[in-house]
């Protein structure tokens, strides 16, 4: 599990996917979420605007990240 530090109170899921390097663009991040291949805290997440806070765990494309 890789830890990704954010400098604000929260980050939106699509922005996080770009920040972590999982998605090359916002469009790619949007499609990943809409295609149902992203989980947040073990549950499928279909809202690309979902706010992530420190402690949340994101899974996508076989990679796992913890928001810190």
pLDDT in tens, 33-48: 999 999 999 999 999 8
Asked if residue 29 lies in contact with residue 61, where contact means CB atoms within 8 angstroms, the answer is no
Q: What is the CA radius of gyration of the chain?
A: 10
Cα dihedral angle (8, 28, 55, 59), rounded to 10 degrees?
Answer: -170
Give the separation between CA 59 and CA 38, rounded to whole angstroms.
6
Domains along the chain?
2-67 (3.10.290.10)
Give the separation between CA 29 and CA 15, rounded to whole angstroms.
8
The per-residue pLDDT for 5 is 93
pTM, rounded to two decimals: 0.89
Residue 30 pLDDT grade (very low, low, confident, very high; cuts 50, 70, 90): very high
């Amino acid at each position: 599990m890789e830890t990704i530090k954010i400098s604000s109170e929260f980050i939106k899921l699509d922005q996080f996917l770009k920040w972590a390097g999982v998605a090359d663009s916002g469009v790619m991040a949007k499609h990943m979420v809409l295609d149902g291949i992203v989980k947040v805290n073990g549950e499928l997440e279909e809202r690309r605007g979902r706010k992530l806070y420190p402690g949340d765990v994101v899974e996508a494309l076989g990679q796992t990240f913890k928001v810190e």
